[in-house]
Structure 1
């Protein structure tokens, strides 16, 4: 076996290890990447890793998955990048799809069995509030950005349509791009040369899926288009996925209830790998009427739809990123896009709380979860496990 093939095999094995052990959100994931990809294996330098991370955070889609694929692209080109993508997302996708099937089975066959989840549903809101607070503290640094947060929160709450979100993101980006003169100026050594193939691929799949869905009304095609469209619009990481999916699949299409949605989101916080794998839970529930085959199909379709746009975009941009990042309006637009994403996240926390009973227990569970995340080092999986055990204990004693 050649040295190159051994190196590729080791890279994929490292990605599999990360997919099974990467608990704790993006900060912990980045620390694991630096340790394994930079210090242990020397696949790339730490400077290259941070630059790729910044690029992925600027693009729509799942940033951790894009980062894994981008490193694979640098190490072994597109083929290794696509293999790394599959190795990274498959374990979490299968876990969340299985969780959806199990929860639905319990709902249908064992009345009251889901009482174990009565505490992790409000706990999920605590996770979202914590994510919103962390995101805002990191991304909102100016008065203009805070105003955008408030405006987008108001609009997202009162006009919670999946078609409003892309308009808000575009408006936010445009509103701050006009301040491009505040950005440092870089010398442009060479003209910007763009290879459009992956952009055409991204747009072509979007148009084709939308057209086929409208013509055939075939639910798997429609489901793929729904997730592909959402995956093309989401900036800011997995937590920003929540308002999109809740609005489309709970409010508009009623494919799952608010309680089921919250239960799935809470479970996703205790699963290693990409947080976007929560989409597989929603996709599996969206095809529950087709039985176990429907659950598996829905989970895989959702994963393909939500992950592919970000991968097409990172492959498109990474080829000319060194030139693009020198354009100040591009960097300035990110402030508005990030601020709008934060506003959507705040609105999502309130919209998810609305269906819950506003009793003291639920409020204490939300606040308690937030405090554990904010003031202790207890990991997310352990917090979720504690909530499940508490629910089982209370259900057994009552």
Structure 2
């Protein structure tokens, strides 16, 4: 892999890390705009297959999708650089905030509300693009609609896994043997042996870290065990990780007030919410704690993506698995549709002015094809203007 290509991966992901506000569903919209529509690193179906794969894995799904795209583009180094670029901005802000958090009260700032409205436009744009590609007929539209209804009525991280599994079974029954659009082949620049080794290492760490922490009574090992375990066991990502982290660190390591202050700031920064671990690590043990906590909570995601990605290409060429993926991809559209309503829409749109701004930004993105980063800037500017109207 050429250095220029690796630099491209880092710069592209860094731009996303600076502009991807709105949570994991919005991140997938920003990824589609930058990686798929603009740079053509993957086709729509492969992108959907990667999303489906990451939905099955514990950890932050949007970060895992970014890692996987980086790996497909530039190998393991590309995956690491894509993760660094996407997470670095929010890590730096949250670590700085850990030292001065009492001076900040950003929760009611107008620009925060505007960025949430930007996320509404970005997610709607991504949903339309994926929907056209992945639900072109009535059976797949029915799967997407049923998945959305299930998530809206009985929302939970575990139900999401059930919905995906059921959709895969339906896809196996309905779509196996039917003519499908040919998959565009992609090259995974590491072997299945690497994947198996990564899965073995993942298992060794999740078993060995608690034992080592108990035997050695090391603060660093205890910290790594805590955040690695959380990163390994959370399905659904995002806000699901917060109650688990709270049980682990409050009140033994930090106070409830310190936890809630960091949580509020984490909502205001771009990139993955899992970087909240950086704030907690800094509060517990300064810069070394921040680095250790950040690496520990994301390490399971790296190992799981490396462990599963080499098997995806072979599986997706088999007719039976293609049928399963067809159903799963349709369900992913429905799951994203449900998430578009809650939390993206419900936490962003509170008035006619909010909805008007979302409509303006959506049409600028979807019809006039303005880049997502420019939509972020316009959203902040228009949001400030509307406060005086």
Verify: 1:346 aligned to 2:337, yes or no: yes
Change (3 A) 1:118 1:55: closer
CA deviation profile, 1:264-323 (whole Å, cap 9, x unmatched): 4xx34xxxxxxxxx25434435657537535544443344333442233223455xx3xx
Partner of 1:204: 200
User: 1:98 Cα shift?
Assistant: 2.1
Counterparts of 1:25 and 1:250 in 2: how far apart (Å)? 24
Secondary structure of the corresponding residue to residue 370 of structure 2: coil
Partner of 1:224: 228
The count of aligned residue pairs is 336
Partner of 1:304: 299
Q: Is the 8 A contact 2:231 2:301 kept in 1?
A: yes
Counterparts of 2:11 and 2:180 in 1: how far apart (Å)? 39
Q: Is the 8 A contact 1:100 1:295 kept in 2?
A: no
User: 1:131 Cα shift?
Assistant: 2.1
Change (3 A) 1:212 1:365: farther
Q: Is the 8 A contact 1:128 1:349 kept in 2?
A: yes
CA deviation profile, 1:121-177 (whole Å, cap 9, x unmatched): 232233223222222122112222222212221222233222222222111111111
Structure 1 length-normalised TM: 0.67
* 1:26 maps to which of 23, 27, 32: 32
Change (3 A) 1:15 1:258: closer
Change (3 A) 1:392 1:99: farther
User: 1:245 Cα shift?
Assistant: 2.5
Verify: 1:388 aligned to 2:385, yes or no: no
Q: Is the 8 A contact 1:176 1:333 kept in 2?
A: yes
Counterparts of 2:181 and 2:105 in 1: how far apart (Å)? 63
User: 1:332 Cα shift?
Assistant: 0.9
Partner of 1:77: none
User: 1:94 Cα shift?
Assistant: 1.0
Verify: 1:284 aligned to 2:278, yes or no: yes
Partner of 2:103: 109
Q: Is the 8 A contact 1:183 1:331 kept in 2?
A: no
Partner of 2:117: 122
Q: Which runs of 5+ in 2 are unaligned?
A: 20-29, 55-60, 183-190, 215-221, 247-258
Partner of 1:66: 68
Change (3 A) 1:245 1:370: farther
Q: Is the 8 A contact 2:52 2:328 kept in 1?
A: no
Change (3 A) 1:351 1:313: same
Partner of 1:89: 83
User: 1:83 Cα shift?
Assistant: 2.2
Change (3 A) 1:130 1:307: farther
Secondary structure of the corresponding residue to residue 377 of structure 1: coil
Change (3 A) 1:213 1:28: same
Counterparts of 2:100 and 2:357 in 1: how far apart (Å)? 24
Q: Which runs of 5+ in 1 are unaligned?
A: 1-6, 38-47, 73-80, 187-194, 234-243, 269-277
Change (3 A) 1:219 1:142: farther
Change (3 A) 1:124 1:103: farther
Counterparts of 2:96 and 2:69 in 1: how far apart (Å)? 31
Counterparts of 1:258 and 1:122 in 2: how far apart (Å)? 20
Q: Is the 8 A contact 2:33 2:126 kept in 1?
A: no
Please show how residues 1-398 of structure 1 align to structure 2 within 5 Å.
8-20=2-14, 25-30=31-36, 56=50, 59-60=53-54, 62-63=64-65, 65-72=67-74, 81-101=75-95, 108-112=102-106, 115=109, 116-179=111-174, 180-183=176-179, 197-208=193-204, 211=207, 220-228=224-232, 244-249=236-241, 263-264=268-269, 267-268=270-271, 278-284=272-278, 289-290=283-284, 293=287, 294-317=289-312, 321=314, 324-352=315-343, 353-355=345-347, 358-390=350-382
Secondary structure of the corresponding residue to residue 156 of structure 2: coil
